[in-house]
A and B are shown apart, each in its own frame.
Chain A
């Protein structure tokens, strides 16, 4: 039986990895994957706590996250493809039309 703190520490590590990926990588696809990593680290935390507390609420939240993440992939990838088509790059620092 793996103790609960192990799951939570793993979730926190995965979340931080994803966070760092979002902050330091410029390739939009990598950033995208990092976001997925963050989402799933939260899922792991949810599931672990659900098991620990004996409640189904956490697992319910995980299903929501998975569905929303699927939708987000569809929209996000479409946007990235469009950006690539119009600019021939997926470097996020080159996409700064909203600069004030």
Chain B
């Protein structure tokens, strides 16, 4: 393994240091060069890692981080098949989005702060996927959460952006608490936090511990990856700059939960865990897709779509097909980043207007953007030969085998229905924004080349990405990952045509419904169903009407009577005790030398009397 390969997370970290410390004084071109150049170096190191990968997992220890008795954690890196796929995807897509940002953020005042945050995010994400111990992974996990918060609230002078950042942080905290408990449970029962050791020894755990630990970690994943019931922060995260939405809230960070489960895959093989993970994934996929159907903000459509596609990935790892999940993770990174960049290009052209009520007819003035959006949309809808078809179809095939093999049929059925709904909502969005007659006269201008080229490259990847997993040509990505998931569910070598045909039918039918049923920016009247969808199946009423007010009341109680009344009083009381005691004692210090001498005399006499009478 080339030494260069181990420097992957180092470069963006350096970029963050330089930009964070002196970025404000550097010219913009240099800031852009440092921001993109460090990520390009990380990508080059990732390519070197793939090129020199010997086949066996490679480890490297940087230093002993914690050594406390039996508890010892090394800060170490791990490069195996799974992390190589992840670093290639993260640094590659990240590089394209960094370049796009050079154009998108060109007018922004806080140019260097933006690139500093973005570089810090890249370093954290690469650390997350390269960490050798669960604790290092957790450090990366929390750091990407921090970067997410910083970048959602990047325009913190807008109240909504600042609130959305806070919301993301708080909701993630709920999941992270469960995650941390899971980590501690694994430590107490296995005595190690090394990721490979956990994978190897997972089978020795008793079923209660195994199910509890896996579900605790999964709860953490539902926060980070915006699954039911902790999905609410992701739509609000769209307040951040659009490239951030593309990079963090579509392609990379939100997939960390899927990566974590694939990484600790043997831990998630207990039947109870299988049912929970696959059902939550399938329900989320369907649930979020229905919301996307009635959403009018184009970026929020993408956000619900991301939640839905992440649901597919959890469905895949749930039904013991982690390779399919990682494959979908990769193609989704391509086409969803492309869709977001296209949406960003629309915002750039329309002066930040993203409400589909007032968009329309953009296909002519924004030809490249429209082309990119349509390619990404077709991939999302699962139309062959675009990449999304292959990965989604593979997941559906695995879900079908799961159902036939005696598992629950719910993942397959919901997955298939969701494929239809997905095609409808993305066709609706494309039609409203790009094809229907414009609402009012406007003169949008196409994005500059620095924004178009990343879109072109992502479009190429979106078209060709399916080749990574197309089984008819040998599925290079799946073959590469196969040794990693030797314990995964075995499947028949020759897939039938039944599921692909159903999947294509669902996609085509969805596109047809979307094109014919929605026109002139008027949704067909769905009556109470539309209300059901737009209220998030009344989950919004549960959250906004019950849970959030209850939490606020608890917070008021804790802040007032408990914090001020008990804790602050205790602390202040201790302080007052010390101050009062000192006020009394200071009277001894009169400053009169003769008095000190008298006290010494008395003390000496007392001592001598004590010795004499003893």
- The chain A residues found within 8 Å of chain B, CB to CB, are 19, 22-24, 26, 31, 92-93, 95-100
Contact = CB atoms under 8 A, between A and B. Distances in A.
Interface string B352-380: 00000000000000000000000000000
B597 interface: yes
A96 B594 contact: no
A98 B590 CA distance: 7
Interface string B581-604: 000011111111110011001000
Nearest to A98: B591
A42 to B, nearest CB: 13
A26 B594 contact: yes
Contacts of A22: 594, 597
Contacts of B590: 96, 99-100
A26 B594 CA distance: 8
B593 A92 contact: yes
A100 B593 contact: no
A23 B592 CA distance: 11
B219 to A, nearest CB: 58
A88 to B, nearest CB: 18
Contacts, number: 34
A91 to B, nearest CB: 11
A98 B597 contact: no
Nearest to A92: B593
A96 B585 CA distance: 17
A93 B592 contact: yes
B598 A23 contact: yes
Nearest to B600: A22
A97 B591 contact: yes
B594 A100 contact: no
Contact of A96 (B586, B588, B591, B598): B591
Contacts of B588: 100
B597 A23 contact: yes
Given A23-B597, A92-B593, A96-B591, 10 more contacts: A19-B601, A23-B594, A24-B594, A26-B594, A92-B594, A93-B592, A96-B590, A98-B591, A99-B590, A99-B591
A20 to B, nearest CB: 10
B588 to A, nearest CB: 7
B519 to A, nearest CB: 88
B589 A100 contact: yes
Contacts of B598: 23
A1 to B, nearest CB: 30
A31 B593 CA distance: 10
B97 to A, nearest CB: 66
Given A22-B594, A93-B594, A98 B601 contact: no
A35 B613 CA distance: 29
B589 A95 contact: no
A36 to B, nearest CB: 15
Residue in B588, B590, B594 with the greatest tally of chain A CB atoms within 10 Å: B594
Closest 6 A/B residue pairs (Cβ): A96-B591, A100-B589, A99-B591, A100-B586, A92-B593, A98-B591
A22 B586 CA distance: 24
A54 to B, nearest CB: 26
Nearest to B582: A100
Contact of A92 (B586, B587, B592): B592
A53 B592 CA distance: 41
B586 A95 contact: no
Contacts of A23: 594, 597-598, 601
23 contacts: A19-B601, A22-B594, A22-B597, A23-B594, A23-B598, A23-B601, A26-B594, A31-B593, A31-B594, A92-B592, A92-B594, A93-B592, A96-B590, A96-B591, A96-B592, A98-B589, A98-B591, A99-B589, A99-B590, A99-B591, A100-B586, A100-B588, A100-B591
Contacts of B586: 100
Q: B586, B589, B593 — which one has the most chain A CB atoms within 10 A of its CB?
A: B593
A38 to B, nearest CB: 11
Most chain B CB within 10 A, of A92, A97, A100, is at A100
B99 to A, nearest CB: 68
Contacts of B589: 98-100
B587 A100 contact: yes
A31 B595 CA distance: 13
Nearest to A34: B597
Contacts of B592: 92-93, 96
Nearest to B587: A100
Nearest to A24: B594
A21 to B, nearest CB: 10
Contacts of A100: 585-591
Nearest to A96: B591
Interface string B568-592: 0000000000000000011111111
A22 B593 CA distance: 9
Nearest to A26: B594
A57 to B, nearest CB: 21
A23 B598 CA distance: 6
Nearest to A35: B597
Nearest to A99: B591
A95 B591 CA distance: 7
Contacts of A98: 589, 591
Contacts of A97: 591
Nearest to B588: A100
A100 B183 CA distance: 54
A43 B586 CA distance: 37
A26 B593 CA distance: 9
Q: Among A26, A31, A99, which residue has the most Cβ atoms of chain B within 10 A? A: A99
Nearest to A19: B601
A98 B595 CA distance: 13
Nearest to B583: A100
